[in-house]
Amino acid sequence: MLAEDITSIVPTRNEMRNIPAFLGSIPPDIGLIVVDASSDDTPQCIGEMRPNNTVLLRYPGTIAEARNAGMAAARTPWLVFTYADITFAQGFSTV
């Protein structure tokens, strides 16, 4: 499996405390779809920290609805559903 075949889908709402560590841990070649319902600076942080290979959807629904919206927007055969308070292990690789 190649990293280009994976999209990580992350529902967020006011995750400024967690999102920098998450974004710093996800490999840049893994696609990222963030479905955001924040009223804080979470979307701006995402745009600044990970401008490439990232789709940011503004969606005010529930977590389940956010997951579904992310899934509908994904274009890869493999999807990983995770949260902003999770970090990938250092050196994480799909190969």
Task: Check residue 63 and give its pLDDT.
Answer: 94
Handedness of CA 49, 9, 74, 41 (dihedral sign): negative
Which tokens go with 34? 């963030």
For residue 2, the model assigns a pLDDT of 86
* Whether 10 contacts 82, CB under 8 Å: yes
Q: Please state the domain extents for the chain.
A: 3-81
Which structure tokens are listed for 43?
Answer: 């979307």
Residue 50's nearest CA partner among 68, 72, 73, 26 is: 26
Per-residue pLDDT at 88: 86
Q: What is the pLDDT along the chain (95 residues), one digit of tens a residue?
A: 788 899 999 999 999 999 999 999 999 999 999 999 999 999 999 999 999 999 999 999 999 999 999 999 999 999 999 999 999 887 766 55
Give the pLDDT confidence score for residue 3 in this predicted structure: 86
**CATH (residue range 3-81):** 3.40.250
